[in-house]
């Protein structure tokens, strides 16, 4: 399905990123873990290479907010592989104050988190799409969220320390529109851009939250990170050749 396709996953050493790497390898692609944390990235590369018995996982350190870092990454990949088939924008940079309740969010933190995240996705897409334009084809997949599509269901967070951060809503909704903007802007360049919007992903959340969340869904409730793999592979493969500028929601009906 993805035979010999060179696919870059930003934040590839994270919870979802690791599953994306696995799905690319399982479909005979070449997975590039692009992550800001060199040690964690190299460890993930080594562990997954052993687990999957493959030589097709590579690592490069990448800061998605640095043009210099991005160009260095692109040059390295071009030199080594002579092509880049796709970019999966999956990193989630945030500052230390990210995730506060609405009335506690400082203006500076709001701006910084939007800059790191949405700004980082813009810059990464800009640098890679310049390469794709020269190459005469490319594919960008932005990992957004259902909370870029619908308003938060705050009741599922009651009696927990969790909330749905306001920065997240602004970032993820902006990312969906950035996806459409870029798809349109790249008309005639053979570069497609789509978004994948997951529902909640299991990550040691409290039981009371999981129960309330499940009530809003149709069958399963919270997803495992592996539940996104099929949609990602579809968007990376030639099966979705003419799917462009779309946002595909995978959430067990939570957003209905």
By annotation, the residues acting in catalysis are: 168
CB 114 within 8 A of CB 106: no
CB 95 within 8 A of CB 116: yes
CB 86 within 8 A of CB 140: yes
User: Looking at residue 224, what DSSP letter applies?
Assistant: P
Q: Which residues have CB under 8 Å from 30's CB, separation 6+?
A: 4, 5, 6, 7, 24, 56, 57, 58, 81
The Cα–Cα gap between 178 and 249 comes to: 16
Residue 20: CA atoms inside 13 Å, Cβ hemisphere, count?
A: 31
The Cα–Cα gap between 189 and 183 comes to: 10
User: Looking at residue 186, what DSSP letter applies?
Assistant: T
User: What's the CA angle centered on 76, arms 71 and 79, to 5 degrees?
Assistant: 120
**φ and ψ at residue 93, rounded to 5 degrees:** -70, 145
């Amino acid at each position: 399905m993805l035979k010999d396709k060179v696919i870059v996953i930003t934040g590839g050493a994270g919870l979802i990123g690791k599953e994306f790497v696995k799905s690319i390898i399982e479909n005979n692609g070449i997975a590039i873990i692009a992550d800001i944390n060199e040690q964690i990235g190299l460890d993930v590369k080594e562990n997954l290479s052993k687990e999957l018995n493959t030589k097709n996982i590579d690592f490069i350190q990448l800061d998605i907010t640095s043009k210099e870092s991005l160009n260095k990454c692109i040059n390295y990949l071009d030199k080594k592989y002579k092509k880049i088939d796709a970019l999966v924008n999956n990193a989630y940079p945030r500052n230390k104050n990210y995730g506060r309740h609405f009335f506690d969010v400082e203006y500076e933190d709001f701006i910084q988190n939007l800059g790191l995240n949405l700004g980082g996705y813009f810059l990464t897409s800009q640098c890679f799409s310049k390469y794709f334009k020269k190459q005469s084809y490319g594919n960008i997949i932005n990992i957004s969220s259902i909370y870029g599509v619908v308003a938060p269901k705050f009741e599922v967070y009651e009696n927990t320390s969790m909330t749905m951060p306001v920065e997240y809503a602004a970032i993820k909704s902006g990312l969906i529109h950035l996806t459409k903007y870029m798809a349109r802007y790249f008309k005639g360049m053979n570069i497609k851009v789509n978004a994948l919007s997951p529902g909640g992903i299991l990550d040691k959340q409290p039981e009371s939250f999981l129960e309330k969340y499940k009530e809003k869904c149709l069958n399963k409730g919270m997803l495992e990170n592996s539940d996104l793999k099929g949609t990602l592979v579809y968007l990376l493969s030639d099966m979705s050749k003419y799917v462009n500028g779309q946002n595909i929601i995978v959430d067990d009906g939570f957003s209905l």
